[in-house]
Amino acid sequence: MDNEKNLCSQSNLVKELDFGRLDAESDRSILNYFVQTGSVEEIKEGKYLVLGRKGSGKTAIFKYLEKEEHTKDNVVSLDLKEYPYAAHKMLKENGMSDDNAHTLSWTFLIVLISIKFLEIKDKLSRKERKVLNNALKVMGKYSSLNLVFTWIKRVKKWDLKILGSGAGLELSDSMDDSLSVHMHEFIEQGINILNSYYNSSGNPVTVLIDGIDDSWDGEESTKNFIIGSLRAVRNLYSEFDRTKSMAPAVMFLRTDIWDSINFNDKNKYMQDAVKLNWSDDNLVSVVEARAKYSSGKSDIGWVDIFETGTPIRNRRDSKGYILSRTMGRPRDILSFSGKALNKAQELNHPIIKNSDISDVELEYSEHIYNELENEYKLNGNWFKNFEKIVQKINKRSFSMDEWVGKSEEVDGSFEYKKVFDTLFNVSVIGVIQKGGSTGGSKHVYRYNSPRLKYDEKTTFTFHPAIVKYLGLRDR
């Protein structure tokens, strides 16, 4: 309790603290305590793909770029949670492959939104405006494009006149080969306009694409939709000569989805990708930044907020204990710390005590488990089988033989290997590594060792974040 005495004179500190919301989408104060880890600068310098696990901060970066002083005037945010997939399907031409059709329609949509953005900002010449409106008028006869226009209006709250004369035409349900011709023509003209604007002003226009994760169901059609979007983003990147500037489009995508799709030249995308990985120090900074903002005290840190100097369990103090039960994500440390803060405030403690952390661990563990279940519930009922298998194993550490045996007991047709790899990749399952000459052992997960692999003789462990909820024995 090294720090409790120091806080007796400022016992109102804990009452003043607020660690904010877990979801960046609805956090209006995100800019006030956004923690930079270098990822933002990489995006500003041209990276067009942002990969991270759920809760790793993708949407926080999306919101930051949308509102940050040096980028907000040049970005268009595109949240795809309500995207009409039917519009893209209707855009497919006869004879064109599914993923190529998606690539074309995505490219068209990104260019269209970028040009409309410039028009709204009154940055187009009269000639460029004419090109845009003529293209919209010609393509307005295709009902599928009208669905896209309708969606754009809803997302961006643009009124009817912004869409030009094409939006008001009487539409036909017919499509023919000329659709792709018109789309290619418009894309070429649009790229010229965007390049001209960049060369004259030095300001790039960038479309930020988020929310595509919510559509993920593992089906082939969804894979093609996402592959098409990725190819469009990369193809447009190659069309622009921007040095140390933001790409024409930036895609935010969950790592597990990226790992689940395969297509030609996929490896080439990684040289232009940002992978969101958080160090322990950066995770602690997320909590400290929110504490400083909510209290108005810029000089406080972890030791002023949490009990330190006394271990909770296994020689870990409050910081080590909470970090060990997060999965390397800001959302986890905010959830655990926030629940402990609520308990400390409820009990009128001057600091967040170790007992507050212990008291809320079960609630936190249930939260993590429910998030995992919600994340994978669209991929079938296998998560329920996973819970049954874990309960049969009934301990933290286990072997592959135990996993296979208990899987067959639960369901003989269960795809135990596929499920195991999924959970291993998202760090629900890790490995126990012996300490070598120093003795002892350590638990390692993919989030803190991205190249982690296993073989059939490996001893595995379930992540401590879910252990409390599942009631597993330590051994």
Q: What is the DSSP string of 197-233?
A: HHHHHS---EEEEE-GGGG----HHHHHHHHHHHHHH
Q: Which of 65-69, 203-207, 280-284, 446-450 has the highest mean pLDDT?
A: 280-284
Neighbouring CB atoms inside 10 A of 464's CB total 20
Tell whether the model's pLDDT for residue 363 goes beyond 90: yes
Could you tell me which of 289, 236, 221 has the C-alpha nearest to residue 57? Answer: 289
- Percent of the chain surpassing pLDDT 90: 45
Laid out side by side, the sheet with 49-52 consists of 75-79, 206-210, 249-254, 49-52, 273-275
Asked if 254 and 216 touch (Cβ cutoff 8 Å), the reply is yes
Which of 58-62, 378-382, 398-402 shows the lowest mean pLDDT across its residues?
Answer: 378-382
Q: Whose CA is closest to 136, among 159, 169, 87?
A: 169
pLDDT at residue 299 is higher than 60:
yes
Taking the model in full, what pTM does it have? 0.84
Q: b vs e for 273-307, b when ≥16 Cβ sit within 10 Å of the residue's Cβ?
A: ebbbbbeeebbbbbbbbbbbbbbeeeebebbbbbb
Q: 88 CB contacts (<8 Å, ≥6 apart)?
A: 101, 102, 105, 106, 225, 228
Query: What's the rounded Cα separation, in Å, for the pair 302 and 231?
Result: 44
pLDDT of 220 higher than 90: no
- Residue 155 CB coordination number (10 Å): 17
User: Which has the higher per-residue pLDDT, 290 or 134?
Assistant: 290
For strand 49-52 and strand 273-275, is the pairing parallel, antiparallel, or unpaired? parallel
For strand 397-398 and strand 460-462, is the pairing parallel, antiparallel, or unpaired?
Answer: antiparallel
| CB crowding 380-409: b at 16 or more within 10 Å, else e | eebbebbbebbeebeebbbebeebbebbee
Per-residue pLDDT band for 383 (boundaries 50, 70, 90) equals: confident
User: Band of the pLDDT at 359, cuts 50, 70, 90?
Assistant: very high
Closest C-alpha among 224, 187, 199, 242 to residue 47: 242
Distance CA 274, CA 250 (A): 10
Spatial distance between the Cα atoms of 394 and 371, rounded to a whole number of angstroms:
21
Residue in 329, 434, 406, 436 with CA at minimum distance from that of residue 372: 329
Residue 252 vs residue 381, higher pLDDT: 252
- Read off the DSSP letter of residue 351: S
Quick check: helix, strand or coil at residue 264?
A: coil
Q: Encoding tokens for residue 211?
A: 């929310």
pLDDT score for 175: 39
Per residue in 413-425, pLDDT (tens digit) is: 778 888 898 899 8
Nearest to 188 by CA among 273, 119, 104, 272: 104
167 vs 271, higher pLDDT: 271
Strand 460-462 versus strand 429-434 pairing type: antiparallel
